Amino acid sequence: MSKSADAPITEDLDWREVHERPSPSTMAIEPMRREAKEVTTAVFENNFNVDLDDALSSRSRKLQRELERRLGITYPDCPQCQTEGEWGQEPGEPLICYVCWEGPPEDIRHEVHRQWKRIFEVRDDE
Ligand SMILES: [Zn+2]
């Protein structure tokens, strides 16, 4: 069975294969960025079975954390609860703080989205 991270993400993907993918810490930035975008989009757009959804969500978080670390990405603090960078957003929903569940003002929302764009879309000099 292939352990390639290039296997297409469909409901037929074996969730165990997702856990066998290479550790993000061993990956180059561009493949990691491509996979992060692919995995995150797949989770957003599909209703996978629970095991596959869990595996992909976990993979997405690991890839994102490693990209944040390597690209030096930091997020603004929440003005409500002062927690740093626990921002999240479900598809079609507004950005919220995952600690106090408040939505931030416009300037913070803009900054969080700018940082996410650095992770998923923009090429940095490595
Ligand atoms: Zn908060």
Q: What whole-number percentage of the chain has pLDDT above 70?
A: 90
Measured between alpha carbons, how far is residue 112 from residues 23, 31, 78, 107 in Å? 26, 23, 11, 9
34 C-alpha vs ligand 1 centroid, how far in Å?
A: 30
Q: What is the pLDDT of residue 8?
A: 75
Give 124's pLDDT tier (boundaries 50, 70, 90): very low
What integer pLDDT is reported at residue 65 of this predicted model? 93
Q: Give residue 85's pLDDT.
A: 83
- Write the pLDDT tens digit of every residue in 96-122: 999 999 999 999 999 999 999 888 875
Q: For residues 74 and 68, what is the distance between their CA atoms, to the nearest angstrom?
A: 7
Neighbours of 74 (CB within 10 A): 11
Residue-level pLDDT at 57: 93
Confirm whether pTM is higher than 0.75.
yes
User: What's the CA-to-centroid distance between 8 and ligand 1, angstroms?
Assistant: 36
57-76-27 Cα angle (round to 5): 40
Q: How far is the CA of 84 from the centre of ligand 1 (A)?
A: 8
pLDDT, averaged across the chain: 89
